[in-house]
Amino acid sequence: MWRIPKKFALVSASAEGPFELVALDNALRKAGVGELNLIPVSSILPKGCVLSDLPSLQPGTLTPVVMAKICSSTPGQKIAAALGVAISEDSHGMISEYHDIGVTEKTAGKTAEAMVRYMMEERDLKPTKVISVSAGHTVRHHGAAVAIAVFLP
């Protein structure tokens, strides 16, 4: 049975590899989640869920995540991935995923923040705090960038 997460960690990284899949794997490992079984979930941040550091988890742990990712095999291409996180003291929060080509890491983070503010507004929810995590990369051969919210018990 799944439980409502009490904590979440934000991680991000970018990497190169000899193939796109390997670049993605390298980015996941660099972010500290490459040995986990990542389970994608949608964008709801449970009420009271607090930001935490990523603990050491046993390899193979089934781990719910919200992930933005992008891969490219176009040398010289700029890629970025970001998450925007809206935390509310009065209600649940939201997480937005964003990835794009030709944008900087900073622009990706600001876009993800704007997206999550809009998502909260559409629900008539008031964020107490909005933050983002992002990664950017200029592709040499095969590149990847990831931004991940890891839900923890």
Letter string b/e over residues 20-54, b meaning 16 or more CB atoms within 10 A of that residue's CB: beebbebbbebbbbbebebeebebebeeebeeeeb
Single out the catalytic residue among 12, 72, 97, 134: 97
137: which 2 tokens? 């990369």
| Rg (the chain; Cα; Å) | 15
Task: Clarify whether 73 is annotated catalytic.
Answer: no
The CA–CA distances, whole Å, from 84 to 44, 45, 71, 144 equal 12, 11, 20, 19
Single out the catalytic residue among 14, 43, 72, 88: 43
The whole-angstrom separation of Cα 46 and Cα 94 is 8
Task: Clarify whether 26 is annotated catalytic.
Answer: no
Task: Clarify whether 43 is annotated catalytic.
Answer: yes
* Residues annotated as catalytic (active site), given as ranges: 37, 42-43, 97
